[in-house]
Amino acid sequence: MSLSVSSLKSLAAFAVVLGFASATHAQERLTSEHVKSIGSKLLDAAGKPADAQIKVDSDVDKGDGIRHENLGAMFLPDRKLTLAAFEAVGAEPVPVGTLWLKELLPSSEGKAIATDKLRAAKLKVGDDDVKVTWYLVGARKVDGKVELVVFGADKKPILTPKLEAAESSDSSEKTPVYLTGEKEDDNAARLHMSVLGKYKTSLTVVRASE
């Protein structure tokens, strides 16, 4: 796969993404143009796995991404994600979108989830191979409460973060799923996700090992 100069610049920007940042040093947000360019290349690299647990039609026009140093996170929402559809979910997961992480891994019970349980995609950027892990994200209702289901490579979800009502809708949130990062320590951060301006949840992510 050959990439244009503009595409290489966009991918290089993603190679430098998520804020292991303090409240006084906010992570940098990717522009919509970068998200579109990077997202399209990532979707091409990932393809459409035959074993996908849910069918997601990712929309690069409505994606969001953040970066800090060589760390990055991006979310591409499903094209059919609406508040009405989201609030009508039942026991079977419905698509929310795809999550992409650069130099970061999701964590459960204080440990990074093993890479053999994750999906990965690789892009050539100049002389370097840029590798990301990516996740199919859905929503379902359990015991009357909505939760996200985050799928790696296995049939069962690797994470099931609960959703809470957001205190208030932030007018600055221009995308269906809006990302922010919050530092926990030098190797871990919370990736906060605001969904449709009404719900919120977060995941713990850690630096990937060398």
pTM: 0.86
Which parts of the chain sit beneath pLDDT 50?
A: 1-25, 171
Q: Nearest 5°: phi and psi at 34?
A: -65, -45
Q: Note the pLDDT of residue 210.
A: 57
54 in Cβ contact with 99 (< 8 Å): no
Q: Nearest 5°: phi and psi at 100?
A: -125, 130
Closest of 80, 82, 87, 202 to residue 145, by C-alpha: 87
Q: CA 186: distance to chain centroid?
A: 21
Q: Note the pLDDT of residue 27.
A: 75
Q: Note the pLDDT of residue 200.
A: 95
Per-position DSSP letters for 161-199, written without gaps between them: PBPEE-SS--TT--SSEEEEEEESSSSEEEEEEEETTTE
What residue ranges do the domains of the chain occupy? 5-205
Q: Which residues pair with 179 in a beta bridge?
A: 193
How far is residue 58's CA from residue 120's CA, in Å, rounded to a whole number? Answer: 16
62 in Cβ contact with 77 (< 8 Å): yes
Q: Note the pLDDT of residue 18.
A: 36
How far is residue 204 from each of residues 35, 105, 112, 131, measured CA to CA in Å? 22, 9, 9, 20
* Token code pair at residue 35: 């998200």
Identify the three-state secondary structure at position 62: helix
The DSSP code for 144 is T
Q: Note the pLDDT of residue 68.
A: 86
